[in-house]
């Protein structure tokens, strides 16, 4: 079960996107093309328009070309639990870094930094995590705080992020699916980064 997100941004696209987020958060409206050019140190609008087009294609913003003031972040931060993409069954895919929406149940959990992922697949079906569910995750500061059998979101270098059972054996980390149709992922201890541990499953009925 893997985490599906928008494509990675280039350095230039990421620079503009981060600046847009900060600007909109401070001023509560979108900037002009000229302001973007000045912030990025550019003398032509063409590179800005190109970056905006790619940001929209990758799902980070919405804008009507030629109308900078129509620009909106697809995922704006609110007081809820951030929903960081979806979790899909199958092979490992890109790591999540986008904020899709917010799930307003943060008062249920007094834990700092809780985030959510949407399930899209069946690789954790035997753990009663089904397609369309939303899993609430607690950030993990240290891999040593995780116990065998915990369900975690794990970053596999060069491959992506996956949601699996965590098993530590000798100097290896085994990421096991809750579905016999999926093979376990076996990694060296130093080659895996645990991003979150399962708190709860949210299911719409």
Choice among 123, 159, 168, 172 that is catalytic? 123
Choice among 58, 86, 153, 164 that is catalytic? 164
The whole-angstrom separation of Cα 4 and Cα 44 is: 34
Active site (annotated) includes residue 123: yes
The whole-angstrom separation of Cα 75 and Cα 18 is: 13
List Cα–Cα distances, 100 to 25, 34, 75, 129, in angstroms: 16, 28, 5, 20
Active site (annotated) includes residue 30: no
Tokens 């709860």 correspond to: 200
- Tell me the backbone φ, ψ of residue 95, rounded to 5 degrees: -65, 155
**How many other C-beta atoms can be found within 10 angstroms of the C-beta atom of residue 17?**
20
Write out the E strands in the chain.
2-4, 61-64, 67-73, 81-88, 101-103, 115-120, 134-139, 151-156, 160-169, 172-176, 185-188, 193-202
Give the active site residues.
123, 164
């Amino acid at each position: 079960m893997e985490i599906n997100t928008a494509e990675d941004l280039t350095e230039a696209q990421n620079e503009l996107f981060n600046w847009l987020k900060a600007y909109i958060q401070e001023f509560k409206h979108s900037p002009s093309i000229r302001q973007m050019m000045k912030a990025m140190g550019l003398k032509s609008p063409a590179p800005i328009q190109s970056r905006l087009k790619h940001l929209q294609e990758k799902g980070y913003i919405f804008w009507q070309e030629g109308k900078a003031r129509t620009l909106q972040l697809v995922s704006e931060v609110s007081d809820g639990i951030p929903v960081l993409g979806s979790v899909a069954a199958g092979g490992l895919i890109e790591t999540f870094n986008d904020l899709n929406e917010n799930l307003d149940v943060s008062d249920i959990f007094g834990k700092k930094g809780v985030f959510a992922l949407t399930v899209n697949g069946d690789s954790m079906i035997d753990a009663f995590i089904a397609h369309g569910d939303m899993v609430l995750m607690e950030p993990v500061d240290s891999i040593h705080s995780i116990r065998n059998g915990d369900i975690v979101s794990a970053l596999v270098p060069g491959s992506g992020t996956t949601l699996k059972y965590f098993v530590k054996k000798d100097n290896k980390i085994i990421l096991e699916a809750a579905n016999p149709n999926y093979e376990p992922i076996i990694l060296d201890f130093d080659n895996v980064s645990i991003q979150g541990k399962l708190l709860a499953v949210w299911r719409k009925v």
